[in-house]
Structure formats: C-alpha cells, structure tokens
C-alpha cells in the first residue's frame, strides 16, 4: 500500500490524544493493518452469514415446588436472621463522599 496514512487526522476523527512517539509507531503500523484488511477482503466468503436454525430450548416446568417450601430450612441455616430474612454485615457504606 503506497498511500501515506494521515495519522494525525485519523486520531482527530477518532477523538484520540496521541503523543509524538505514538504517532511515529502508528505511522508504521497502520499501513500494515490496512494491507492485512485488504487481503482479508479478497477472501472468497459469502457476503451474508447463513441464518441459524432456531429452536426453543425451554422445557415445561413439571412438578413445580410451591413458593416458600424451603424458606425455613434455608433461613435457619444462616448464621444470623431477622424474621424470614437472612441478616448480613453491611459491606457498602451509604455515606456520600
């Protein structure tokens, strides 16, 4: 690829701040990247991806358990509780900085 890439203009379009060192590096790398993209575009591949065959993977909910069936055994296994709830130590402060 013989065209010189204007990295400064490209960085402005992408709203990127690029240092002088990064500009020098990108001026070397971008042409190679563009050549690689051009090579990939030459590949003989279909323009549109094949539409996958979709099917429902959900199963019927057979023999559902009534809500609350295991609540007491689970809450009683917790180290601390308040009524029907598990009590835990506060780990996030609600104070604003």
Say how far residue 88 (Cα) sits from the centre of its chain.
31
Exposure string of 23-55, with b = 16+ CB inside 10 Å and e = fewer, is eeebeeebeeeeeeeeeeeeeeeeeeeeeeeee
pLDDT tens for each residue of 38-82: 999 888 877 787 788 888 888 888 888 888 888 888 888 999 988
49 vs 3, more confident: 49
Domains delineated in the chain = 7-41 (1.10.20)
Task: Say what the pLDDT of residue 36 is.
Answer: 94
Residue 7 CB neighbour total at 10 angstroms? 19
Residues composing the chain: 97
């Amino acid at each position: 690829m013989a065209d010189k890439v204007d990295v400064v203009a490209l960085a402005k379009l992408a709203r990127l701040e690029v240092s002088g060192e990064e500009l020098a590096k990108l001026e070397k790398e971008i042409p190679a990247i563009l050549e690689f993209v051009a090579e990939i575009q030459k590949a003989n591949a279909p323009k549109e991806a094949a539409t996958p065959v979709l099917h429902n993977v959900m199963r019927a909910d057979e023999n559902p358990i009534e809500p609350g069936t295991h609540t007491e055994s689970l809450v009683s296994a917790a180290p601390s509780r308040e009524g029907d709830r598990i009590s835990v130590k506060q780990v996030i402060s609600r104070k604003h900085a």
